[in-house]
Every structure is written in structure tokens, then in C-alpha cells.
Structure 1
Amino acid sequence: MLKFSINKLLSSSGLTGKEYYLDNLRISDEIRSKLVSLRDDARSGILEAWSYAKEQVKQDKDLYERVPLSKLEQLIKLKPRFKMQGSYVYGTIVEPAHNSQDIDLDDGMYIPMSVVQLDDKTMSAAMFEVVDKVLKTMANANGWKQIPKKTCSRLQTNEGIHLDIPCYAIPDEDFNRLRLFESLLVESNSAQDSELKIHTVNLALRNGEWLESNPEHIKEWVSRTKKLHPNFQDIVMIVKGLRDHNYTSGGPSSISLMVAIEKIMSSSPKLGDLTEELYNVVQKLSSVISNELKHPHPGSAHLIIHSPTEPEKQDLRLKFDRFAMYFKQALVTSLTERETMDILINLFGFRMPNDQTRVIRYSVDDNGLKTKKSKVMTPIQEHNTFG
């Protein structure tokens, strides 16, 4: 049974004029503005480069011999569309804890399936060529790097941000709906473009192949999970903050953490209380995150999202067992609020508010039910539990 509640350290809980852990994890308005600006610059550059590429197509006589004129006209008229994905859309994006870490922004580029069917390998190569060229130009102009990845093109800035642009093909009707939706967003001056559902998606791979992989499936799953488990989003952010503080680089991916957390919460009683649900998750994460995890959406269940090697499994078990041990020490076996506070700061880092008055001690009533005592001021006795 837990001895302490840390809800008032983690979230606002009705407090005003106080800092709290989740607030310290959220990206600032300045960073959010940088992300949107970077995305928009990349989109504009890609559209301009695509127009130039279409002029090259018009002059390719060999292509005219291979592809019917009506299909070529479709290609020449084509204007790619874009749709954001990833943690920015899910609402789980967090500020990095170390300079060696990045904020990851994902912005998918889409073209209609009918155009891909003209020549799937050529179209895959063409999409990567255009996106790579644009991001390389942006990189050269700013002293950044463009990195070709298997499933996307990456723009690595020197400001703790990287932009990934994967390329997709979708049914023509979905593409037309996306085009209409984009125009409505422009009219409303909105930075969000995550509400339109796309049902069938093929991801371009750099080797010329295509993989059925729908980013909408993760978004739908996250939305459904938030409704089933109201604390899910907060717990994902808290665990990401825990990971980022303890891994200067690497560590389990955000999506693998999300899937592991949902798996634990779905197989546990609904406790409702943030501290209790977070404690339950942290105690069980080691055994879940150190094993293979499949895509959580039934429509993408054929995809493996987390498959650690044996050495990686051992490292994950070691680290997450350690997290569980210290978190138990903080909330169960600690003798004082100050001791709990010291452990939490060591475990979660500088973004955890150093305020022992918000560590609330539980008491047990005559019926064996937990209640919370009023906060008690305790003398500050500085010591480092981790040694």
C-alpha cells in the first residue's frame, strides 16, 4: 500500500501559481512556433521542387513511351499533400532533458495511389529524391544535416529538433479529401491537420518497395485509449520524462513506451488516482518493455513496433527494475516527505518541483480505506538516496 501521494507534484490539481512536473515537460510556445515554422518551410520547398520535377517529366521521351498520356497528365497535375503524425498530434510531445536529445516532428507527404501504380519503384525513388533535395538545401543554408533514413528523409537541426518526412500513397478519394481538408485549414489559419481520417496507406521505402503502414492507426488507438484511461496521456508523458532523464541518448522509443503502458493499464484495475496508476505502471514496465511488442491496432497487427535484442532486453530490465525499486522506495518505504522528495528528484531530474509540502501522506481509516492527511511541513534534511 502506498504511503505517499505525489499528485500535487505531477499535475496542477487545482493549484495556481505553482510549477508542476507535467508543466515542465511540455514544450514552450516558442518551441511550438519553431516546429510549425520548420514544417511549413519544408512543405513549401517540397511543393516548389515538385513543380520543377514535373517539368523534367514533360521532357522525358522514354517515359512517354512507357506510360499512357492520360496517366502522365495526372502526374504532371499532381500536387503532394501533407499530414502531421507522431507525438505532436497525440499530445505527448515533451521537452528533451539533455542537449543530446531531440524533439521529433513527423510530417507525412501523400500522393494518390493511381499515380504510384504507373511505376511504383520509380515513384518511390522520385518522392525520396525530391524530399532529400529540399531538406539538403535547407540543411546547407542553416548549417544543419540531411540524413537519409530507410522510411523517411530527416532534417537534423542544431536546435534540438529533427523533422522526419515519410512518403505515402493513399487511395485517390482519400487524397482528394485531404486536399479539401488542407484548403479549409488554410482558411481557418490552423496549425493542426490531424482530424481527417485516411483508411488505406502505403509507406514508401528507400529501396523502392512499399509497406502497408497506416499512421492513422496509432492516432485512432491513442484517441480510444485516452477515453478508456483518462490518466494515460499524463502517464505517457511522465514515463517519457523519466526515460529522457536517465538516458542521455537511446532508450525505448516513445511508441513502444505507449504500447507497454496501455498494455499494463488495460490489464490492471482502474484505480483512477494518478499516483496509484503511475506506480502500478512503473512497477510492471520492466517485464513488458523488455519483450517484443506488436502494433496495437488490429488493422496493423502484422507490424512489430518493438523487438529488442538479448543485450537490449538485459539493459531494459536492469534500468526499469531500478526505476521500479527507487519509485517504490519513494512512495512506500520512505520515512519522511523530504526523503521521498530527494528520491523523486534523483529519479526524475531537475524538472520535478523540489517542494516536499506537496508530498501528501496517506492514512488508513477504521475501514481500512486510504485517505490523505493534510500536508505537513517537515525540516529540510538534504541527503542523496542514490549515493
Structure 2
Amino acid sequence: MLKLHKLFAEPISHAFGHQLRPTAEQREYLVSCKNKIRDHLRRGIEAATVSHLGMNRRVTPRFRTQGSWSYDTCVQPAQYPPQEMDWDFGVYLPVTVWEDNGPPHAMAKLYFSLVEQLLLILCDQEKWVLTPGKDTCIRVKVASWAHIDLPLYAAPDDQFVQIIDKAAVLNARGIALDSAEFLQEQLWEEMDTIMLATRKGEWKPSDPEAITRWFKDRLAEHGDQLAHVCRYMKAWRDFHWEDAGPSSVCLMIAISQKFQRQPGRDDLAIEKAAEHLATAIRFDIREVAIDDRLEDFNRLDPMGRGFAAQKATELQNSLFQARTWSIGLKSNAIASLRRVFGQRIPDDQNLIEQDTSADAIRNTEARQVTRPVVVATQAG
């Protein structure tokens, strides 16, 4: 048996996991783009809240990074183009008038139109491209390899005021907060009434932090290996599907629900995740802790679910086969992995080790054992 962990492990500069990471330069560029968008929209929306959106006073929007960049599972595209990195950047509007359990109905379309017009101006300045996004977000293509998606939210103004007041108290007590962004992790959870604007001019109830909270709880439970495996599985999806396949959220939830930690063995952890996914992806994927209405996060149709299950089984079998080659056939193990993950699996036999029974014992996660009951006896 072979240990393939080092082919994946991030600390090794040419390992698969390291190659999946966005580079420091890419991150720096996307942060600068995100900040330009934030500053431009902050000024523009604030100036238009009375004249364009019909509010009774000027208000300042807030912004928040969401999605894969917030829980560290963004990966380099496997097929570039057309695949791209994406940054999910939520725009939050404090609404002064709240009617019928939501903002004024007409405001949704006005809000969407205002933000698109403001972004057109910025895109012209920066040589970016405003592209047709989803019904629930606006997309800005900031590079040939990346775009920023902007979902538009609204929440009651009084909730923002309460959170900002709380932030000021924390600052006064010496608890550091980003002075430019008062709404930090624990403070965002105070927002319990959030509506999402759509391009069609509708408001939909939303909890954009639900998935992030749930996944961070799973990371606290299982450790960083869970995030590593989610990145590997997203890269596997991108290698086999150019623009479809299971969504990132679907993969993340399915993997997390039955994750089995394998200390020091990412290869075994991926194999176990693929085994579970092969079954789970055939059915609806729901998580009550994220959505008590039990939304189905598996958007694939029946044919797509069957194909995804087949590919997940192939992944599990390829990982198992790769591990079973003898120590003299390391090249065969690498070939097995490249068939399911692509050429980014390093062609470096020095990263493959022999798996011994002692290794298996050391890499088995410790489990708490119930103390045996000792029955009292009497010698005679």
C-alpha cells in the first residue's frame, strides 16, 4: 500500500493543494478591486438614497465578503477559460421605511438599477466589464480570470444602528474592530431580518451568513482537513465539468455532513468523501441547521445526479487503486490520480511513501472509549 498524502498536502510548494490556492498577487488584486467597488458604491448609493430610492434621509450602505473567500475554499480554475475565480461581495442597504415585513416593493428594482448604473461608470473607468449575472446578483468581470458577484440586500435601519452602537461600545472597551467596517463576525449575526433584491424587482427573505456559520462550525469540529478536502473536490468537479456539475455549496454540505477526519492522510479523507458523495449526490441534499425550510442544495436534474454519482465512484476507485500499487509502481499511482484530478497532480514519485500497518495505527483518529464496568466480586 502507498501513502499519497504528500501529493496533496499544501505545505509542499508543487503539491496539488498548493497549486489550487489563489496566489498572493491574485488575492491582492481582487481585494483592491473589491475595495474600489465598495468605495464607489458607498458614495453613489448614499447620494441617491433620497433622490433615487425615495428614502426620508441619506443612509450609508455596508459591504461584506461572502462565499468561498470568507471560509477559504476558493480554488484556481481547472479549465481556464471559461472557468474563473469569483468573489462574492454583498451590498447591504439600511432601509428607513419597512412595510409589509419588507422594504417598499418598488425599491427593489430601483436599487438594482441604481447599483448597475453606478457600476457601469466604474467599469468604464477601470476597463472592467459588467456582464449579465444571475437574477439575484450583479457581476463585474475584473480580469480575464476573475469576476466579482454583488448580491444586493436590505435590512431595517434600526438594526444597523444597534449594531454600530454595539461596535462603538466594543471599541471603547478596547476590543479592536476594523474602523472602516463596523459589522464584524459576531455583529453580523445580530441581523435577523434581511431581504435580497432581484433583477425582476422582488424582495426575497435571505440569511446570507447561514452557510458560513454552519461551515465554520464544521471546521471547528473537524479541523482544516475539511477545508482541504472541499478544495480538492471543487477542483475535481472543475476538471470534469466545464460549467456545470454539483455546485460548490452542494459539495461542501454533502462532504461536511459525513466527513471522516484522517489525520495526516488527505488521500484517505478524499477517498472517504468521494464514497459518501457517490451516494448523497443521487438524492436531495438538505441541512436543517442552514435552512429550517429544508431547501434542496442539489440543483442537478436526475440525469445529472446519476452522472455525478458515477464520477464520484470513479474518483473513489481511482484513489483506492492508486494506494494499492506496489512501491515500485509509483508512476502508476500518479497516473491513476491524474485521470481524476488532471495534470496538476505533481509527477513527483519522491512524494509517495510506503504505507505500513504502523502508519495506519498512528493515523487513526483517537476516540473516547467508555470505561468498562467492573462488577464487585467476593472471593470464597
The answer to whether TM tops 0.5 is: yes
**Deviation of the 1:134 alpha carbon:** 2.2
State the shift of 1:219 in Å: 1.2
- Supply the AA of the counterpart residue of 1:344: L
Moved more, 170-179 or 151-160: 170-179
Match of 1:20 among 15, 28, 52: 15
Matched residues in 2 for 1:202 and 1:160: separation? 30
Q: Separation in 2 of the partners of 1:243 and 1:57?
A: 43
Whether 2:119 is the aligned partner of 1:124: answer no
Within 5 A, what are the aligned runs for 1:228-267?
228-230=221-223, 231-265=225-259
Aligned in 2, Cα 1:82/1:361: closer, same or farther, shift over 3 Å? same
Per-residue deviation, 1:56? 2.6
Q: Look up the equivalent residue of 2:200 and give its one-letter code.
A: N
1:217-275, CA deviations, whole angstroms, 9 ceiling, x for partnerless residues? 1111111101111221111111112222222322211111100101221xx5x543432
Deviation at 1:210, TM superposition (A): 2.2
CA–CA separation in structure 1 for the residues paired with 2:48 and 2:95: 19
Contact 1:102 1:160 in 2 (8 A): yes
Q: Out of 88, 95, 107, which is 2:89 matched to? A: 107
Instruction: Report the Cα offset of residue 81 of structure 1.
Output: 0.8
User: How many angstroms apart in 2 are the aligned matches of 1:55 and 1:215?
Assistant: 26
Answer yes or no: is the 8 Å Cα contact 1:116–1:169 preserved in 2: no
CA RMSD of aligned residues (A): 3.0
2:151 matched residue in structure 1 = 166
Per-residue Cα deviation, 1:121-140 (whole angstroms, up to 9, x for no partner):
12211221122112233344
- Relative to 1, partners in 2 of residues 1:40 and 1:178: Cα closer, same or farther, differing over 3 Å? farther
Normalised by the size of structure 1, how large is the TM-score? 0.79
* Cα deviation, residue 90, structure 1: 0.3
Give the partner amino acid of 2:321.
Answer: Q
Aligned counterpart, 2:79: 98
Query: For the structure 1 residues 287 and 167, does the alpha-carbon distance in structure 2 shift closer, same or farther, using more than 3 Å as the test?
Result: same
Amino acid across the alignment from 2:14: E
- 1:203 aligns with 196
Tell me the SS of whatever aligns to 1:107: strand
The answer on whether the counterparts of 1:146 and 1:156 sit within 8 Å (CA) in structure 2 is yes
User: SS in structure 1 opposite 2:196?
Assistant: strand
Deviates further, 35-44 or 178-187:
178-187
CA deviation profile, 1:35-60 (whole Å, cap 9, x unmatched): 111111212222232244246349xx
Give yes or no for contact 1:4–1:361 (8 Å, CA) kept in 2.
yes
Offset at 1:105? 0.6
Q: Aligned partners of 1:178, 1:106: CA distance in 2, in Å?
A: 22
> How many angstroms apart in 2 are the aligned matches of 1:263 and 1:286?
14
Quote the residue 1:88 is aligned against. Answer: 69
% identical equivalent positions? 24
TM-score, with length taken from structure 2: 0.81
Match for 2:110: what amino acid? Answer: A
Closer, same or farther: CA 194–36 of 1 in aligned 2, 3 Å: farther
Q: Equivalent residue for 2:43?
A: 48
Deviations, residues 139-194 of structure 1 (Å, cap 9, x unaligned): 4441523324211111134421111111112243542366576997654x89x965
Which moves more between the two structures, 83-92 or 326-335?
326-335
One-letter amino acid matched to 1:133:
Q
Further displaced range: 342-351 or 47-56: 47-56
Say how many residue pairs are matched.
347
CA contact (8 A) 2:325 2:333 kept: no
Question: Cα gap change, 1:173/1:232 in structure 2, threshold over 3 Å: closer, same or farther?
Answer: farther
CA distance in 2, matches of 1:357, 1:282: 25
Structure 2 portions without partners, runs of 5+: 364-380
Question: What is the match of residue 68 of structure 1?
Answer: none
CA positional deviation for 1:33: 1.1
Question: Given the superposition, is the C-alpha separation of residues 129 and 147 from structure 1 closer, same or farther in structure 2, using an over 3 Å criterion?
Answer: same
Which is richer in helix?
Answer: 1
> 2:134 aligned with 1:149, yes or no?
yes
Partner of 2:314: 322
| 2:297 paired with 1:305 | yes
Q: Given that residues 147 and 154 in structure 1 are in contact (C-alpha distance below 8 angstroms), is that contact kept between their aligned partners in structure 2?
A: yes
Q: What does residue 8 of structure 2 align with?
A: 10
Q: 1:30 offset after TM fit, Å?
A: 0.9
Contact 1:245–1:348 (Cα < 8 Å) also in 2? yes
Report if the CA contact (8 A) 1:295-1:301 is conserved. no
Change (3 A) 1:334 1:173: farther
Distance 2:350 2:320 in 1: 19
SS at match of 1:306: coil
Give the conservation status (yes or no) of the 8 Å contact 1:152–1:166: yes
Q: Judge conservation of contact 1:121–1:209 (CA < 8 Å) in 2.
A: yes
The answer to whether residue 119 in structure 2 is matched with residue 135 in structure 1 is yes
Instruction: Read off the aligned partner of 2:79 and give its amino acid letter.
Output: H
Cα separation, partners in 2 of 1:176 and 1:255, compared to 1, 3 Å:
same
Residue 66 of structure 1 corresponds to which residue in structure 2?
A: none
Partner Cα separation in structure 1 for residue 149 and residue 76 of structure 2: 17
Q: Deviations over 1:300-348 (max 9, x none)?
A: 4433222321221232123222222222221235672221022223322
Query: Matches of 1:290 and 1:122 in 2, distance apart?
Result: 41
Displacement, 1:12? 4.8
CA distance in structure 2 between the aligned counterparts of 1:301 and 1:307, rounded to whole angstroms: 16
Residues 194 and 298 from structure 1, CA distance in 2 versus in 1: closer, same or farther, beyond 3 angstroms? Answer: closer
